[in-house]
Structure 1
Amino acid sequence: MQNLEHTFRWFGPDDEVTLADIRQTGATGIVTALHYIPCGDEWTVSEIAKRKTIIEEAGLEWSVVESVNIHESIKTGEPERDKYIEKYVKSLKNLGEQGLKTVCYNFMPVLDWTRTHLDFRLPNNASALRYEASALAAFELYILEREDVFNEYTPEQQKAAKAYLDRLSADEIKLVTNVIMAGLPGTDEVFTVEEFREHLRRYADVNASKLKENLAYFLRGIIPAAEEAGIKMCIHPDDPPFPILGLPRVVSNEADLKDVVGFAPSASNGITLCTGSLGARADNDIPGIVERLGEHIHFVHLRNVKREADGSFYEAEHLAGSTDMYAVMKNIILEQQKRIKSGRGDIAIPMRPDHGHMILDDFKRNTYPGYSIIGRLKGLAELRGLELGIRRSIL
C-alpha cells in the first residue's frame, strides 16, 4: 500500500517551528525555500546544499521546493524578463544537481496569498485566517483609491464597505491595510500604499490575457531545463482565485489549469492541487479536477475554507468547510492507483496540511500566519486518518 508522502512546510532556521518539532508530527518530508535570496537571483549549489544538509541532519528529507519565486518583470513581460528566466533556469539546474525534484511556484502578480484578517476567532476561540469581502472593498475604495474602482462595485457592495470602514478605529484601519499589503511568505515585507500603487502602474497594460501570454512564455523558457534536470514544476492556484486590487488572476479554475499544462506539454509541467485556494470558488469542482487532471498533479496542499454568500471565506478545520475532503482524498488515491497500473514512478505524491488554526500552545509562539505547529499537526493527523480509512475501504 503506497501512501502519500506526508510533508510539512518549514521557513528555515529562523522559524520558531523547528525541524525537531516537525519530526514529531509524523511528517517525513520538508517543504521549504531559500527565502533570504532576493526574488530573481540565482540559487547557488552551495546555498541549496547547505539547506539540504540541515534538513537531512534532522532526520528528514527536503521533498518539495516552495517556492522559487518569479520576478515581476517576467509577469509583466518587460524586456529584462529573459535575463531573469535565465537565472531561474540556472536555479533549476542547481536544484536538480542536489537531488531536488519537485518545485512549486505561483504566478500571482505582486502579492502572494491575500487575507484581510489573521486572527479571526472561531466559536472555540481558535484563531483562523479570513478573507472578508467588505474589508477588501473598503481598502480598495477608500484607502488605495484605485482609479475607476467604484465602477467595479455595486451600490450595495459600496455601502457595505463604507459601513465596515466606519466601524474601524485608526489602528484597526492600519492593521487591515498591513495585512492586505503583506508580501511573500517567509518574509516580513509589507508594502506601503504608495509602493503598491507603483506596482499597479507597472501592470497598467497587463490584463488577464497578457498575463497568461507571459506565463506561457515563462513556461516555454524553463520547462526544457526542468526536463533535463528531472524536475517537476507545479503551479499553485491563485489565492484567492479571482482578480483583486486591480490585478488579474489567471490560475483560478479548471480551464486555467488546462491552459497551463497545455502551454508547454511535458511531464515536468504540472499542478499543485491546493484545495483551499480552489475551494474559495463554489464553481470549482475539486474532486472532478483531480479526476480529470490528476496525471498532472505533482504536489498537494490540503486545507478547507468555509465560503460565505458575499465572497468572503475563512479557513475551516481540514475536514470541515465547503470542500468535500473525503471525495478529494478518494480521487487522489484513485489517481495513485492509475499511476501504479501505468508504471509511473511518482506514486507517493507529496502532500502537506496547508495552513492551520492557532490552538493551545500555538499562541505562545511567533509563527508565520497560517503556519502554527499544533494546528497543522491536528490537520495532518486528521488527513492521515482519512487517507488510511479510504485506502482500507477501497483497496
Structure 2
Amino acid sequence: MEMSFRWYGDDDPVTLENIRQIPGMKGIVSAIYDIPAGEVWPYEKIVELKNKVESKELRLNVIESVPVHEDIKMGLETRMKWIENYKQTLRNLAKADIRTVCYNFMPVFDWTRSALDAPLEDGSHSLLYDEEKIKHLDPLSGELELPGWDLSYQTEDLRKVIEKYQSITEEDLMDHLIFFLKEVIPVAEEENVRLAIHPDDPPWSIFGLPRVMINEENVVRMLKEVDSTHNGLTFCTGSYGANPDNDLFSMIEAAKGRIHFVHARNITWTGTKSFQETSHLTSDGSVDMVNVMKKLKEAGFKGPIRPDHGRMIWGEEGRPGYGLYDRALGAAYLNGILDTLTIAKEG
C-alpha cells in the first residue's frame, strides 16, 4: 500500500515540508479548490499542482475530489453538459499522469458532523455526529457550516435544490449514479483512470435527502451494473463503519479488486446513529483497524491509503479533522500494522 496524506494546497497550515517528514510517506492526495463544481479543470492548473507536490519529492497520486454537479445527481435534462465537462477533466488529469480520482454522490452536503471539537477523555478533541442534534438542525439556518460543504449557493437557491430532492427517491438517485458512470467510465477506461466513489458520510439519509452509497447491497449493485475495473471504491472505514450493521470484512471481500483508494479512520459508536472519531488505534474505537488492514492486504489491495480525520492533539489548531500530529501518528500506526503483516507473511 502507498501511504498518502491529504493536503489542501497553499492555504493548508500543514505544509508539504511537514508531510514529507512523516516516515514512509509517499503520496499526496489533493485537488484544485478554486474551480466551481462542474467546470472543466484546466490541464495547466493540474500540472501546476503536480509540480508543487513533486518539488518536495512526493507524488500526487490521488485527486480528491472532482465534484459531481448537482444537476447530474438530480438527473436533470442539463446533466449532459456537466457530464461532458467531467469527461474532459478526466482526460486532462490522465494527460498529467493522474490515475486515481475520488468523488462522491452525496446530494447537496458532503460529510456532516454536529460538532467539530467534541472533547475526548484524553484531553484531545475530534469530530462528533449526534443524530438527535442533527435532527433538530436546519441546514439553511447557517448554524451548521462544515468543511467540504459547497457554500457557494445563496440560501434561497439552496432551499430550491433541497426542495427538488424531496421528490427524488434513493432508487432514483442510484439510477442517476449508474447513468453518470455509464457515461464517464468508458472515458476512464480509455485514459486508464480509476474512479473511486467515496461512501456517504454518515451512511444514512440526513436532512430528508436520499443517500445511496451506504451499505454492501448498494455497493455490489453499483459495481455490477457498471462492471469495469475502472469503476471502484474509496473504502472509508469510518464512513461505512459508522453503521454497526455494515460488516467491513464482508464488504472488502465483495469489492475485491475494485477498491482503488482507502481512507483509514476509526470511530467509536456513542448511540443509535451517533459516533465520535478517535485515534486510529483498534483499541480506541469500534473499527478493528488491525484486521481491516489484514483483510485489505489479503484481498490484494496495493493502492493509495491515507490516515483520515485525526483528532486535534497537543494544542494544535487548524482545519477540523485535518491537523498534522494525529494524522501523522495514524500513518505511523498503519505502517506498523503493514510491516507486521509483511513480516508475518514472510516468516
Q: TM-score range by the shorter chain?
A: over 0.9
Deviation, 1:195, is: 5.0
Aligned CA distance change for structure 1 residues 212 and 375 (closer, same or farther; 3 Å): same
Do residues 326 (structure 1) and 290 (structure 2) align? yes
The residue type paired with residue 62 of structure 2 is V
Do residues 288 (structure 1) and 250 (structure 2) align? yes
Q: How does 1:130-141 map to 2 (within 5 A)?
A: 130-140=128-138
The residue type paired with residue 48 of structure 2 is K
The residue type paired with residue 219 of structure 2 is L
The structure with the largest helix share of the pair is: 1
Equivalent pair of 1:252/1:278 in contact (CA under 8 Å): yes
Aligned CA distance change for structure 1 residues 313 and 375 (closer, same or farther; 3 Å): same
Query: What's 2:159 paired with?
Result: 197
Equivalent pair of 2:4/2:26 in contact (CA under 8 Å): yes
Equivalent pair of 1:93/1:229 in contact (CA under 8 Å): yes
Q: Secondary structure at the match of 2:128?
A: strand
Query: What's 2:10 paired with?
Result: 13
Equivalent pair of 2:165/2:210 in contact (CA under 8 Å): no
Do residues 239 (structure 1) and 236 (structure 2) align? no
Do residues 209 (structure 1) and 160 (structure 2) align? no
Do residues 393 (structure 1) and 344 (structure 2) align? yes
Query: What's 2:120 paired with?
Result: 122
Q: How does 1:1-395 map to 2 (within 5 A)?
A: 4-26=1-23, 27-140=25-138, 178-179=143-144, 181-182=145-146, 184=148, 189=151, 194-319=156-281, 320-336=284-300, 348-363=302-317, 367-395=318-346
Equivalent pair of 1:219/1:263 in contact (CA under 8 Å): no
CA distance in 1, matches of 2:254, 2:75: 31
- Segments ≥4 residues shifted beyond 2 Å: 181-185, 189-199
TM-score (norm 1): 0.83
CA distance in 2, matches of 1:104, 1:263: 19
CA distance in 2, matches of 1:298, 1:240: 21
Aligned CA distance change for structure 1 residues 267 and 304 (closer, same or farther; 3 Å): same
CA distance in 2, matches of 1:323, 1:239: 15
Equivalences, count: 343
CA distance in 2, matches of 1:310, 1:281: 9
Equivalent pair of 2:38/2:69 in contact (CA under 8 Å): yes
CA distance in 2, matches of 1:252, 1:315: 18
Query: What's 1:166 paired with?
Result: none
TM-score (norm 2): 0.95
After superposition, what is the alpha-carbon deviation per residue over 1:11-50, rounded to whole angstroms, capped at 9, x for unaligned? 1111111100110113110000101111000011111111
The residue type paired with residue 362 of structure 1 is E
Deviation, 1:202, is: 2.1
Q: Secondary structure at the match of 1:294?
A: coil
The residue type paired with residue 369 of structure 1 is P
CA distance in 1, matches of 2:79, 2:309: 32
CA distance in 2, matches of 1:195, 1:314: 32
Equivalent pair of 1:333/1:391 in contact (CA under 8 Å): no
The residue type paired with residue 314 of structure 1 is Q
CA distance in 1, matches of 2:84, 2:209: 26
Q: Which has the larger radius of gyration?
A: 1
The residue type paired with residue 6 of structure 1 is M
CA distance in 1, matches of 2:147, 2:174: 22
Aligned CA distance change for structure 1 residues 191 and 120 (closer, same or farther; 3 Å): farther
Deviation, 1:191, is: 6.6
Q: Secondary structure at the match of 2:166?
A: coil
Unaligned segments of structure 1, at least 5 residues: 145-173, 337-346
Aligned CA distance change for structure 1 residues 296 and 325 (closer, same or farther; 3 Å): same
Deviation, 1:107, is: 0.2
Deviation, 1:68, is: 0.3
Q: Which moved more, 1:259-268 or 1:215-224?
A: 259-268
The residue type paired with residue 143 of structure 2 is N
